[in-house]
């Protein structure tokens, strides 16, 4: 009896270890952020891009309106790629696009907008990246769809045609 | 008198330096416990990505605002989820994680006790 307990125990132990590791193999270890969260937008005070004036978030985001908050930068290559889609979305009168200029040089950012066009209604500036953290953002580009002061969709990375179609469907 | 004056000035400068170092230590301690979400496998302290640098700055600001360690952790957990913390809290989904080592320790101890100590008797 005594001799049997140990082999049985060991077999079970290794079986459990095997199952745990085997299951672990299938899990992706890349963190994928939740992107469909109904979350209130943060409240903050930010500097406007065009002037040195400060603006409160309550003045930018109003109730009963739909906003697209886009984090961009002139040094970010994917931002260039998504810019034409943002331009196209800006033609939609129901949607207001707000830009958050992330860790950028003002001269370069202005040149970027001059070259590619300006889809933004308001641009706020985030010189040190802390405002982006307030939004729970990872980096550039990142886009938030906001309705009634709630984030209803979050797109990490550049907007592609599929997400543009999805956004259009939501605002209709 | 001159000596005393210069001594006071030096003392004052040193104490300033010391309080700065203390804040820096706390910032390092906190950022070492945060996972960089862009460059996974590195802590915010180790990483030099844009994301990590912003988090470092934010932690510094929060410390200067007088927030304590837990308040800062909770703030970031609220923004990015629990994944950003290296130390997962004790919850239903982490019972196994926390209790398994203790369980193995007890069972292993029991086996050793049985095999070596009781056998001798």
Hey, which residues does A100 pair with through a beta bridge?
A71, A124
A107 within domain boundaries: yes
A47 within domain boundaries: yes
B65 within domain boundaries: yes
B121 within domain boundaries: no
CA distances from A147 to A55, A65, A96, A143, A172 (A): 20, 6, 11, 13, 12
| CATH number of the domain encompassing residue B45 | 1.10.8.640
Element (H, E) at A67: strand A66-72
Look at residue A120 in the predicted model and tell me its pLDDT: 94
Look at residue A37 in the predicted model and tell me its pLDDT: 66
Q: Which two tokens stand for residue B88?
A: 């997962």
- Among candidates A31, A132, A136 on the partner chain, residue whose Cβ is nearest the Cβ of B40: A31
ipTM over 0.85: no
Look at residue B60 in the predicted model and tell me its pLDDT: 93
Look at residue A26 in the predicted model and tell me its pLDDT: 80
A71 near B51, Cβ under 8 Å? no
A86 within domain boundaries: yes
Mean pLDDT computed over A82-103: 92
B83 near B62, Cβ under 8 Å? no
Count of domains observed in chain B = 1
Mean pLDDT computed over B83-102: 82
Domain around B34: 2-87
A81 within domain boundaries: yes
Count of A–B CB contacts within 8 Å? 39
* CA dist., res. B97 & res. B88, Å (int): 9
Domain around A136: 39-171
Does residue B67 have a pLDDT over 80? yes
Count of domains observed in chain A = 1
Look at residue B4 in the predicted model and tell me its pLDDT: 86
Least confident segment among A9-23, A155-169, B59-73, B106-120: B106-120
Beta strands at A95-102 and A66-72: parallel, antiparallel or unpaired = parallel
Taking all residues of chain B, what is their mean pLDDT, rounded to a whole number?
86
A53 within domain boundaries: yes
* CA dist., res. B14 & res. B22, Å (int): 12
Contact between chains at A139 and B55 (C-beta distance less than 8 A): no
| CATH number of the domain encompassing residue A83 | 3.40.30.10
Among chain B, residues having any CB pair with chain A shorter than 8 Å are: 37-38, 40, 49-51, 53-55, 57-58, 61, 79-81, 83, 111
A26 within domain boundaries: no
Does residue B36 have a pLDDT over 80? yes
Look at residue B8 in the predicted model and tell me its pLDDT: 86
> How many other C-beta atoms are found inside a 10 Å radius of the C-beta of residue A68?
25
Residue A51's pLDDT band (boundaries 50, 70, 90)?
confident
Q: Which two tokens stand for residue B35?
A: 């996972």
**A chain contacts of residue B53, beta-carbon cutoff 8 Å:** 129
| Highest mean pLDDT (candidates A22-31, A125-134, B85-94) | A125-134
B41 within domain boundaries: yes
The rounded percent of chain B whose pLDDT value lies above 90 is 44
The pTM of this model reads 0.74
- Among candidates B38, B49, B54 on the partner chain, residue whose Cβ is nearest the Cβ of A133: B54
What is the distance in angstroms between the Cα of B3 and the nearest Cα belonging to chain A?
Answer: 44
A7 within domain boundaries: no
């Amino acid at each position: 009896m005594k001799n049997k307990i140990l082999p049985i125990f060991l077999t079970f132990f290794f079986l459990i270890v095997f199952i745990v590791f085997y299951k672990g193999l299938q899990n992706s270890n890349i963190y994928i952020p939740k992107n469909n969260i109904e979350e209130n937008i943060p409240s903050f005070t930010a500097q406007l891009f065009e002037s040195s004036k400060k603006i409160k978030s309550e003045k930018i985001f109003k109730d009963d309106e739909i906003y697209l908050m886009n984090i961009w930068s002139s040094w970010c290559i994917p931002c260039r790629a998504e810019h034409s889609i943002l331009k196209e979305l800006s033609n939609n009168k129901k949607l207001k696009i707000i830009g958050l200029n992330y860790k950028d040089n003002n001269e370069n950012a202005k040149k970027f907008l001059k070259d590619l066009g300006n889809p933004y209604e308001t641009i706020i500036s985030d010189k040190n990246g802390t405002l982006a953290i307030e939004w729970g953002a990872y980096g550039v580009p990142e886009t938030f769809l906001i309705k009634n002061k709630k984030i209803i969709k979050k797109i990490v990375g550049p907007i592609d045609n599929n997400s543009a179609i999805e956004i259009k469907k939501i605002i209709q | 008198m001159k000596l005393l004056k210069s001594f006071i000035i030096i003392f004052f400068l040193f104490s300033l330096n010391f309080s700065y170092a203390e804040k820096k230590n706390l910032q390092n301690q906190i950022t070492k416990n945060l996972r960089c979400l862009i460059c996974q496998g590195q802590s915010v302290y180790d990483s030099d990505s844009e994301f990590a640098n912003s988090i470092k700055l934010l932690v510094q600001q929060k410390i200067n605002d007088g927030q304590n360690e837990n308040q800062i952790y909770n703030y970031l957990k609220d923004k990015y989820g629990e994944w950003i913390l290296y130390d997962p809290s004790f919850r239903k989904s982490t019972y196994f994680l926390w209790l398994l080592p203790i369980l193995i320790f007890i069972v292993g101890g029991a086996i050793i006790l049985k095999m070596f100590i009781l056998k001798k008797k």
